[in-house]
Amino acid sequence: MDAATVRPPEALEKYRSVLDETMRAIVPQEPRGLYDMLRYHLGWVDEKGAPVEGASAGKALRPTLCFLTCEALGAPCAHAATAAATLELVHNFSLVHDDIQDGDKERRGRPTVWSLWGVGRGVWAGNAMRVVADRALASGSPPMAQRKQAALLLTRAYLEMIEGQYQDLEFEGRGEITTGEYLEMISRKTGALILCAVELGAMAAEWDGRDGGALRLWGIHLGRAFQVRDDILGIWGNPTVTGKPIGNDIRRKKKTFPVVLAYERAQGAAKHALLEAYGSPELSEAQVERVLDVLEELEVGTASQALVERETEQALESLQRVGPLLFPWAHGQMVQLTEFLAHRDR
Amino acid sequence: MDAATVRPPEALEKYRSVLDETMRAIVPQEPRGLYDMLRYHLGWVDEKGAPVEGASAGKALRPTLCFLTCEALGAPCAHAATAAATLELVHNFSLVHDDIQDGDKERRGRPTVWSLWGVGRGVWAGNAMRVVADRALASGSPPMAQRKQAALLLTRAYLEMIEGQYQDLEFEGRGEITTGEYLEMISRKTGALILCAVELGAMAAEWDGRDGGALRLWGIHLGRAFQVRDDILGIWGNPTVTGKPIGNDIRRKKKTFPVVLAYERAQGAAKHALLEAYGSPELSEAQVERVLDVLEELEVGTASQALVERETEQALESLQRVGPLLFPWAHGQMVQLTEFLAHRDR
């Protein structure tokens, strides 16, 4: 199966308008300077605060998972709107702070918040994004006991996310990381919020949990497949589709799964080339080329996609187990989304 | 009344050990790298993670207010321990991010977190500080309905805090700010969390609110007096006590209350000197001296302290109104604390 055969599921579009509406109701208007930074990051306004149309707003994967899970379990998607919007805001809080951490000047084809307004304001913009999300979830529509439970789930998820972010930073400064350590890290950094999206969707549907945990397993495997596919695209993604050159994550010295695997497999000259490249303060273009050659020789691209496929299969198995309990349309969308994420080209 | 006549109330020491114990139980052990940054900031370990004794941990004003309010309303202080520890952690979250925003390399006589570990790790250390605080409050000792209410109060408080931080940054880039705008800003930046400390203390004591809001008024006036006294110390504090040179906040181009008032009052040469100094990218020592002279001429130091006294009087009046409902020892401590904060020299 390749990219051409897997179309994006309609679910990725279906919830956009309700998500957008809910998010816009959550982000306050005043003080404008502060919240215009949030609106800018979310693609709603330009850097002067004037409304814009068609700025890329990302895939909205987490809210889609939340809405879809809620509908699959028989509740109207509106029940999940606050949780879905909260998840997207929390995800964007982490992106605003990520960009500061990585010194990235561009995201989704536009200057990043910190690069326009400085690190200080960027830090507070990220903080504001998270607090308005917290407040929305705490005062939103579900009944009291559920809101409390939802807030706890979300808090746990972003504590894991923060711990994962930190581990990721640690790894950059370390020579050898095992693939096991790497997978453990991404299960926190990326996986925790994706799993939380499924959990909050189920909670919004007042799900009784009688699938024996199969939905959670779906979320766990999906999260892992998603991140490793991301890692693959970060190195070999088609530049005309991703807008980034081949070898981009190598140039940025990101130790993503293919590189970690290459470290594990490399010996002799290949190992030497890796150590030399990642030991340099900055990689020359020749070094980037050399690393790409080493990854090719060691076939880590193929091996990485094989891992994506295995995780995807396990996600699909979990879905199959819970299938009889789900509404057929939503179940079909979940299957299609799972396959799409494993083979997407952006 | 001057500094020498107002001793610090014993309440500022009384709760230290229970606060310390509660905070240490809240901050996780693993991953060590991440949480050692928090422990370092909190003065428990050195930069290598080895335990230290006697590092300055700050005044712990917010937890003290929380404990004291709880006890004053007839409940044991232990009921307020989680809320008090949460407040201190949230306050420290804002300090970690403040230091990044201001580029400050030193706090309480030690290098700041970001200056030791970089901006990226510093941002995540601050985030982790807030999340562990959130989690503690959400899963701590008060009954369920109260935890929920407490979480909402805290969320509202730090949303205000963040909005205030942002306004403060905006003011630095603006020429004229009115004293009214300034006081509104500090009621958010500093006042919100101080008021929240009183509210959480009352909630921990299951207070029925029959003081007609007098306790909240105490918190509001206290917060304002506290910040303006801080502003005074930031300019004229005794260097041997504060560890900072005279005119420190002027050198840092901080537009605190005395400077805002001077802008309002200044005319002619004095106004010119202010505009010139604050229009420079960096102030020369001669400019700092000139600004100090202008502040002296315009008697803004005296006027600033007069505002502190007025706010303190209003705080004391509120306390007097609620006095008959309070336990006498705690009431006495609240009075003494209010007077102490207005005249403290550090």
Mapping DSSP onto H, E and C, the string for A69-136 reads HHHHCCCCHHHHHHHHHHHHHHHHHHHHHHHHHHCCCEECCEECHHHHHHHHHHHHHHHHHHHHHHHH
- pLDDT at residue A74 above 50? yes
**What is the ipTM score, two decimals?**
0.88
B3 or A217, greater pLDDT: A217
- d(CA B292, CA B159) in angstroms, rounded, equals 34
Domain stop point among B157, B176, B207: B207
pLDDT of res. B1: 42
Query: Do residues B71 and B107 share a domain?
Result: yes
**Is there a contact between A119 and B119 if contact means CB atoms under 8 Å apart?**
yes
Residues in B touching A145 (Cβ below 8 Å): 144
Cα dist. B69→A324, B22, B83, B91, B161 in Å? Answer: 56, 18, 12, 18, 21
**Is there a contact between B127 and A97 if contact means CB atoms under 8 Å apart?**
yes
Q: What is the mean pLDDT of residues A265-277?
A: 94
What digits encode the pLDDT tens for the residues B78-111?
999 999 999 999 999 999 999 999 899 999 889 9
pLDDT of res. B144: 60
- d(CA B171, CA B161) in angstroms, rounded, equals 15
Sequence-distant (≥ 6) Cβ neighbours of residue B211 within 8 angstroms: B321, B322, B325
Query: Do residues B165 and B229 share a domain?
Result: no
Mean pLDDT, consecutive 10-residue segments, chain B of 346 residues?
Answer: 67 94 94 94 95 79 97 94 96 95 90 96 96 88 71 92 91 87 96 97 91 93 97 94 87 93 95 92 93 96 98 98 95 97 93
Omega of the bond prior to A31 within 30 degrees of 0, cis? yes
**Which of A153, A166, A168, A170 to mutate to probe the B interface, most B CBs <10 Å?**
A166
Task: Kindly provide the residue ranges of all beta strands, DSSP E only, lying in chain A, ordered along the sequence.
Answer: 106-107, 110-111
Residue A298 DSSP symbol: T
- d(CA B109, CA B123) in angstroms, rounded, equals 21
Cα dist. A191→A158, A186, B104, B234 in Å? Answer: 10, 6, 35, 45
Q: Could you tell me if residue B256 is inside a domain?
A: yes
Contact (Cβ atoms closer than 8 angstroms) between residue A89 and residue A132: yes
Beta bridge partners of B51: B45
Query: Do residues B95 and B184 share a domain?
Result: yes
Query: Do residues B32 and B117 share a domain?
Result: yes
Residues in B touching A128 (Cβ below 8 Å): 159, 162-163, 166
- d(CA A237, CA A231) in angstroms, rounded, equals 9
Q: Could you tell me if residue B2 is inside a domain?
A: no
- d(CA B65, CA B68) in angstroms, rounded, equals 5
SS3 A51: strand
Omega of the bond prior to A258 within 30 degrees of 0, cis? no
Report how far Cα B291 is from the mean position of its chain's Cα atoms.
26
Q: Could you tell me if residue B268 is inside a domain?
A: yes
Q: Could you tell me if residue B93 is inside a domain?
A: yes
Rg (CA), chain A: 20
Q: What is the mean pLDDT of residues A227-245?
A: 92
**Which of A131, A171, A252 to mutate to probe the B interface, most B CBs <10 Å?**
A131
Task: Tell the burial category of B176 from Cβ atoms under 10 Å away from its Cβ (0-12, 13-18, 19+).
Answer: exposed
Angle at A119 (CA atoms; ends A115, A122), nearest 5 degrees: 80
Domain total in chain A: 1
Query: Do residues B186 and B277 share a domain?
Result: no
Interface of A with B (CB under 8 A): 31, 33-34, 97, 100-102, 119-121, 123-124, 126-128, 131-132, 134-135, 138-139, 144-145, 147-148, 151-152, 155-156, 158-159, 162-163, 165-167, 169-170
Contact (Cβ atoms closer than 8 angstroms) between residue A159 and residue B134: no
Considering chain A, what is the average pLDDT of its residues? Answer: 92
**Which of B27, B95, B127 to mutate to probe the A interface, most A CBs <10 Å?**
B127
Q: What chain B residue is nearest to A129 in terms of C-alpha separation?
A: B159
Residues in A touching B158 (Cβ below 8 Å): 131
Closest Cα in chain B, distance from residue A28 (Å): 11
Q: Could you tell me if residue B197 is inside a domain?
A: yes
**Is there a contact between A97 and B144 if contact means CB atoms under 8 Å apart?**
no
What digits encode the pLDDT tens for the residues B35-57?
999 999 999 999 999 999 866 66
Query: Do residues B122 and B184 share a domain?
Result: yes
Cα dist. B243→B61, B180, B254 in Å? Answer: 20, 30, 18
Q: Could you tell me if residue B234 is inside a domain?
A: yes
Query: Do residues B104 and B188 share a domain?
Result: yes
SS3 B221: helix
| Residue ranges making up the domain that contains A30 | 3-343
Which of B160, B153, B138, B35 has the alpha carbon at shortest distance from B94?
B160
pLDDT of res. A10: 93
Domain stop point among B179, B207, B235: B207
Place of tokens 């809240």: B26
Q: What is the mean pLDDT of residues A265-272?
A: 95
Which of A326, A110, A113, A253 has the alpha carbon at shortest distance from B123?
A113
**Is there a contact between B123 and A120 if contact means CB atoms under 8 Å apart?**
no
Place of tokens 């960096």: B282
pLDDT of res. B56: 64
Which of B217, B258, B199, B215 has the alpha carbon at shortest distance from B234?
B258
Residue A242 structure tokens: 């991703």
Cα dist. B20→A89, B14, B42, B89, B234 in Å? Answer: 33, 11, 10, 11, 28
Query: Do residues B172 and B216 share a domain?
Result: no
**Is there a contact between B163 and A97 if contact means CB atoms under 8 Å apart?**
no
Query: Do residues B46 and B171 share a domain?
Result: yes
CATH of the domain at A277: 1.10.600.10
Q: What is the mean pLDDT of residues A251-271?
A: 94
Q: What chain A residue is nearest to B118 in terms of C-alpha separation?
A: A101
What digits encode the pLDDT tens for the residues A83-96?
999 999 999 999 99
Sequence-distant (≥ 6) Cβ neighbours of residue B48 within 8 angstroms: none
Query: Do residues B228 and B113 share a domain?
Result: no
Query: Do residues B313 and B218 share a domain?
Result: yes
**Which of B134, B167, B252, B253 to mutate to probe the A interface, most A CBs <10 Å?**
B134
What digits encode the pLDDT tens for the residues B257-269?
999 999 999 999 9
In one-letter notation, the amino acid at residue A221 is H
Q: Could you tell me if residue B4 is inside a domain?
A: no
Q: What are phi and psi of B48, to 5 degrees?
A: -95, 0
pLDDT of res. B219: 97
Q: What is the mean pLDDT of residues A200-225?
A: 93
Q: Could you tell me if residue B1 is inside a domain?
A: no
Query: Do residues B51 and B194 share a domain?
Result: yes
Sequence-distant (≥ 6) Cβ neighbours of residue A155 within 8 angstroms: B131, B134, B135, B138
b (16+ CB within 10 A) / e for A246-283: ebbbbbeebbbbbbbbbbebbeeebeebbeebbeeeeb
Beta bridge partners of A110: A107
Sequence-distant (≥ 6) Cβ neighbours of residue A9 within 8 angstroms: A333, A336, A337, A340
Q: Given A100, A151, A166, which is nearest B119 (Cβ)?
A: A100
- d(CA B43, CA A180) in angstroms, rounded, equals 34
Domain stop point among B207, B224, B257: B207
**Is there a contact between B97 and A134 if contact means CB atoms under 8 Å apart?**
no
- d(CA A140, CA A137) in angstroms, rounded, equals 5
Residues in B touching A172 (Cβ below 8 Å): none
A334 or B173, greater pLDDT: A334
